[in-house]
Structure 1
């Protein structure tokens, strides 16, 4: 199928039956002064999803079964169009024009067509440029998204697809626009819509800036590209971007609005990506088993990169700490300058997800190692002095410095024992997944973090795109 005719939602394979030492000067979303805010909004929990008193939908759906999934999609598209009816003219020239039709199908059935394509087995959603329509699979895709990430997870997919329609209408795309750019612009445009919902402007949906937004971010992670080796024949084909990249694009839109999406192009994406690896070496998985040897190697590598005058001691025993609570699987005690590791728990944290679990995120070895690295970053803060280690600013500073350390590991680091530590493709996504779900790599010395996964990921990206001084200045 010609890529330019139909832009689909390329999700992680769990949902589909088919499927840096360089300092980067990328565009980073600001983390505002209040660590308990989300892009300037209070971080709060509350209702998320379709309102009980939702306005009636304004659109009809072709080939519908009048079921729950189609009703949710109909409400979502109606809401997205209500947003763009106002927001389009504020960001782009001209006036907004809705898509011509909405088409539903069941991927388990044999009587559907979308964009001149048989929909049997098509577990996807998409925008068809040829006839200006948006379609989705009501049989598998939307129910799976709703189960894994709630109403707003499914709505996020449709907001992304509508983003493609906006791209064409606004002239952001042409036949030469790479898929990578088109997809991240659409992520950004979806983010601007989600901000409108979170602000309470939607007559149909609500979105809390705590767990509600966290679930939307988890849905964005599910859209990441699959990990490929350098010799894989799919390399370079319809690249959409890593979870880290797509989350960044979404956050640009959420924080700065639709106008920010116009700045996303290959150059901007390249600046954000810098030297972060995107492909695995031939015949490698990128997974380093969590063992005592590997933990020692990671700690040694941090010592080489950051060269503290008084390196922290590593212990595999649980010890009392006079000035901090334990936060297993890895804890830092300022009083003794010791990193304590519960190896069994760290190993469990670094396990890869069940490939049959549609709601799984990009977990793996670096979900665990990023927590270990974050504890070393607390030791770096302790040695520097002058900053607290037990408050919200310390939690976000730790996330930021963990991002700095992550970037430094894009170049091979050889330890005194002869081990070589280096970041591989997928590791950043594994760190981001952990920061979203458990928050430990973005916590203070007591294991406490801020409630917003959005803010935690934001702080991590500030470090990936910056350096130590930027982290200390941003989170004093």
Structure 2
């Protein structure tokens, strides 16, 4: 979060691009379930060692080709052309490995996967990328990365070529072409999830770890969306994937700089940059609690309700005033918001960032607003409404020109805490929580992009 100083806010598009698309970064290991129904012989992959990671990749590539054989003609009114320049697996740990197209030596691929438009080829590092992704985020992350790269091949066949990007850089900025590729990946994963894939079986319960991988491929915090190499922040990347998953291929193909909102921003002050966009825990609480009260008071009053300001109450242990709501709780009996300041909440703040704290608090203040509208605070509607209103609050703060507002990275912190924890999506009894994380991000994103009209509680 940031204090005063004005910054320009531009809502403009969402996510990923052509060569050197993804690079592996640290993540937490997951015990991901296999997503294949038998595997495909990787013999068609150039440079393959025939091992498990290339068998998984071959299975993904085979079903990706089947998906686009089926889908591309319906959307673009012409047949799908399979990859002509080859599929390449590169052992970057082997100094004698041959380089794939678009590179001069094999180690140019280290930690990377990419689509080479000049050769119409896809390549990946089977030593330092795909197995690392598999270990940290599960098989679905490997499939997602390859689906993204195939998305760039789709763009090439649409006419969004490197030449077109150079000729019209304002029409085809990198952040847009990357968003489109992530969106296409989402359409493929939905097709698999619907049971239409011959060899893959990706259930909804595996999507959270895959989105975790997508988050790790975000741009460094503070990267401007106008940067020529910008791929998107975590919020924008996840948004593009979810839009593809929910809206379909035609929606992805129609993405443009005119119709796509982007949230990625550069730092606007040295102070904010030096703090990496994060306020200290105590300072965050001091600033956000009155701001939340002011926002929800205005929301309730404008709708003709009567607002009662919740008493913001710090506790040394996790609140137990009304079931298990996690480290922040709305207490209906005395209309207060209690927050634990000794362990869990400060740790989330330190581990993820200050807006992890912000989202949890915003969702509990949202329950106070829902109480003013006489909404039942128990059950799925309450859990969903609280999370959506937290997104609507986030939207208002994001759009501010000055005063207390979001810093680059805050929306990413929101996505991270929502994927990892269900605290912000629990009802006021702690007995109902919205899940999985994929769904929590979807609901929160609705509030961010559409405001309170997406929430249906006022």
Q: Give the TM bin, normalised by the shorter chain.
A: 0.7 to 0.9
- Report the counterpart of residue 22 of structure 2 in structure 1: 10
- Aligned pairs (5 A) from 1:117-132: 117=103, 118-120=105-107, 122-132=110-120
The counterpart of 1:109, out of the listed 79, 94, 97, is 94
2:5 corresponding residue in structure 1:
none
Which structure 2 segments of 5+ residues have no match? 1-16, 301-306
Alpha-carbon separation, structure 2, partners of 1:450 and 1:80: 31
The C-alpha deviation readout for 1:372-407, integer Å capped at 9, x for no partner, is 12111111111222x221111211111111111112
- Contact residue 67 and residue 188 of structure 2 kept, 8 A: yes
Per-residue deviation, residues 139-178 of structure 1 (Å, max 9, x unmatched): 0100111011111111110000000001111224533321
**In structure 1, C-alpha distance between the alignment counterparts of 2:158 and 2:43, rounded to whole Å:** 22
Structure 1 6/14 Cα, relative in aligned 2: closer, same or farther at 3 Å?
same
Backbone CA RMSD of aligned residues: 2.5
SS in 1 for 2:279: coil
Look up the SS of the partner of 2:221 in the other structure.
coil
Conserved 8 A contact 1:184-1:246: yes
* SS at structure 1 position matched to 2:44: coil
What residue is the counterpart of 1:313 in the other structure?
A: 311
Distance 1:279 1:463 in 2: 24
The yes-or-no answer on 1:374 pairing with 2:328 is no
The one of 336, 339, 352 aligned to 1:338: 336
Q: Deviations over 1:277-308 (max 9, x none)?
A: 444533431011212x4313211111222326
Contact 1:10 1:240 (C-alpha < 8 Å) held by counterparts: no
More helix by share: 2
Aligned pairs (5 A) from 1:399-414: 399-410=387-398
Moved more, 343-352 or 221-230: 221-230
Uncovered stretches (5+) of structure 1, i.e. residues with no partner: 16-46, 353-362, 415-419
1:169 matched to 2:157: yes
2:67 to 72, 83, 105: 83
- Distance in 2, matches of 1:341 and 1:243, equals 27
TM-score normalized by structure 1?
A: 0.81
Which residue of 1 is the match for residue 144 of structure 2? 156
Please tell me whether residue 459 in structure 1 is matched to residue 447 in structure 2: no
Q: Does 1:245 align with 2:236?
A: yes
**Contact 2:325–2:426, Cα closer than 8 Å, also in 1:** no
Distance 1:56 1:103 in 2: 15
Q: How many residues align?
A: 413
Question: Per-residue deviation at 1:272?
Answer: 4.9
- The DSSP-based 3-state class of the residue aligned with 1:77 is helix
The alpha-carbon deviation at position 368 of structure 1 amounts to 2.1
Query: Is it true that 1:201 corresponds to 2:191 in the alignment?
Result: no
Which range moves more in the overlay, 462-471 or 396-405? 462-471
Q: Is the 8 A contact 1:48 1:206 kept in 2?
A: no
- 1:408 Cα offset (Å): 1.8
Q: Distance in 2 between matches of 1:441 and 1:13?
A: 27
Contact map agreement 2:325 2:427 (CA 8 A) in 1: no
Once the two structures are superposed, residues 351-389 of structure 1 have per-residue CA deviations (whole angstroms, 9 ceiling, x without a partner) of 23xxxxxxxxxx32211221112111111111222x221
Whether 1:427 and 2:427 are equivalent positions in the alignment is: no
Alignment of 1:146-295 (within 5 A): 146-173=134-161, 174-175=164-165, 176=168, 177-209=172-204, 211-228=205-222, 236-269=227-260, 271-273=261-263, 277-279=265-267, 281-282=269-270, 283-284=273-274, 285-291=276-282, 293-295=283-285
